[in-house]
């Protein structure tokens, strides 16, 4: 979530050190993969314990929540963009963020917005999540035959989407189809889902997998650092070839493999040290992960506001520190407030205080059962 905030905050100097600068995968891969794992935890057991009908109902309910969050994010973002354009007047923010269609033809855009046929970039992650989450009931039905049926279906759908360029219409300004093709990106979602359900297992003590993953990450680092590829011709040739064959919209294999290598190395290095996440410095980040939807919506709005600050206050260190400090503080605050609100403390009924017993009670009252 913090990486997404940084990545979408124009002018943020921290943009230069996020993982996307050192390879071909980025925070979107992390988000969708972890969403698959979270969906497995939250909904997978429901299908096993209570059947397909109740499991599908839970998925539908979550999709409605995500759709409401998507609408709230879009309209809040549109308001921030309109306010920034009106207040500053020197930057056409709707054009910068490819929202001209919405402001020029709001009626048609609203129909598209509510039917998910108008999906501008930067407002496309939640629609992607809705689309892949809606595939979970089918995945669980296939898993009744055998878990490998689900895995095979996911791979086949990815291959067909890439081979025949199957996608959904986005109808945004210069973006005819969804930037994140759900028929392709479901592969990384169901990879996380299958790993969490243990339909597939990966040994964490394999030297071959570990050093193979390290090699992939080093190659990703080499093609990303000017100091390397500008002085090592073979690395530069590899860089050119990779960037000519990467396709983020359709989740190309290079991106997918790089992310899996990254995830594998992180998990191996963390094995046996997971307790560190419970230490005080990390608890706030864990809380943000537990309130992912609230934090995602907040970080997108904060990123746009922060970008406007950089646009007009400059990108010097005082502004950098202020924007990031305020942005991070808001995300932490929202995480704790959301967690507090979900506990619904206002519904708690205080236990009645024990009735006071008089020191001396009349004998008649005791006999009458008072």
Q: Are 251 and 187 in contact (CB under 8 A)?
A: yes
- Which pLDDT belongs to residue 367? 39
> Measured between alpha carbons, how far is 135 from 194 in angstroms, rounded to an integer?
13
Q: What is the pLDDT of residue 325?
A: 97
At 274, list the tokens: 């997971």
**pLDDT for the residue numbered 364:** 40
b (16+ CB within 10 A) / e for 154-178: beebbeebbeeeebbebbbbebebb
Classify the phi-psi angles of 227: left when phi > 0, otherwise alpha if psi is within -120 to 50, otherwise beta. Answer: alpha
Each residue's pLDDT, cut to its tens digit, for the chain (370 residues) gives: 999 999 999 999 999 999 999 999 999 999 999 999 999 999 999 999 999 999 999 999 999 999 999 999 999 999 999 999 999 888 889 988 889 999 999 999 999 999 999 999 889 999 999 999 999 999 999 999 999 999 999 999 999 999 999 999 999 988 899 999 999 999 999 999 999 999 999 999 999 999 999 999 999 999 999 999 999 999 999 999 998 888 999 999 999 999 999 999 999 999 999 888 888 888 899 999 999 999 999 999 999 999 999 999 999 999 999 999 999 999 999 999 999 998 888 887 666 656 555 554 444 444 334 3
The two structure tokens encoding residue 144: 């009744």
pLDDT at 359: 53
**Quick one: CA torsion of 125, 130, 133, 135, rounded to 10 degrees?**
-120
The pTM (predicted TM-score) of the whole model is 0.90
Q: Which of 297, 295, 305, 291 is nearest to 339 (CA)?
A: 291
Contact present, 39 and 193 (Cβ < 8 Å):
yes
Beta strands in the chain (DSSP E): 169-172, 175-177
According to the model, what pLDDT value does residue 352 have?
64
């Amino acid at each position: 979530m913090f990486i997404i905030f940084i990545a979408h905050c124009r002018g943020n100097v921290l943009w230069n050190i996020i993982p996307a600068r050192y390879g071909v995968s980025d925070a979107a891969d992390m988000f969708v993969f972890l969403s698959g794992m979270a969906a497995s935890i939250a909904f997978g057991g429901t299908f096993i314990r209570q059947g397909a009908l109740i499991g599908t109902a839970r998925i539908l309910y979550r999709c409605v929540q995500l759709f409401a969050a998507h609408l709230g994010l879009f309209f809040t973002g549109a308001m921030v963009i309109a306010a920034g354009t009106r207040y500053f007047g020197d930057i056409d923010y709707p054009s910068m963020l490819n929202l001209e269609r919405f402001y020029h033809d709001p009626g048609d855009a609203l129909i598209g917005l509510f039917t998910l046929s108008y999906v501008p970039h930067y407002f496309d992650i939640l629609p992607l999540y809705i689309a892949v989450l809606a595939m979970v009931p089918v995945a669980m039905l296939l898993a009744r035959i055998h878990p490998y049926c689900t895995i095979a279906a996911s791979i086949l759908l990815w291959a067909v989407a890439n081979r025949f360029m199957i996608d959904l219409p986005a109808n945004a300004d210069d973006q005819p189809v969804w930037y994140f093709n759900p028929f392709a990106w479901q592969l990384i979602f169901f990879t996380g889902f299958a790993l969490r359900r243990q339909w597939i297992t990966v040994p964490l003590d394999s030297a071959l997998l570990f050093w193979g993953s390290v090699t992939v990450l080093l190659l990703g680092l080499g093609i990303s650092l000017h100091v390397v590829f500008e002085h090592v011709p073979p690395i530069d040739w590899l860089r050119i070839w990779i960037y000519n064959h990467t396709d983020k919209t359709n989740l190309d294999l290079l991106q997918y493999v790089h992310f899996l290598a990254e995830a594998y190395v992180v998990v191996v290095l963390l094995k046996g040290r997971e307790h560190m996440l419970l230490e005080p410095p990390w608890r706030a980040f864990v809380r943000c992960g537990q309130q992912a939807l609230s934090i995602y919506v907040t970080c997108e709005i904060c990123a746009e506001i922060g970008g406007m600050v950089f646009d007009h206050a400059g990108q010097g260190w005082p502004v950098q520190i202020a924007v990031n400090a305020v942005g991070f503080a808001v995300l932490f605050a929202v995480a704790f407030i959301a967690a507090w609100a979900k506990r619904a403390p206002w519904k708690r009924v205080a236990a009645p205080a024990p009735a006071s017993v008089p020191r001396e009670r009349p004998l008649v009252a005791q006999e009458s059962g008072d």
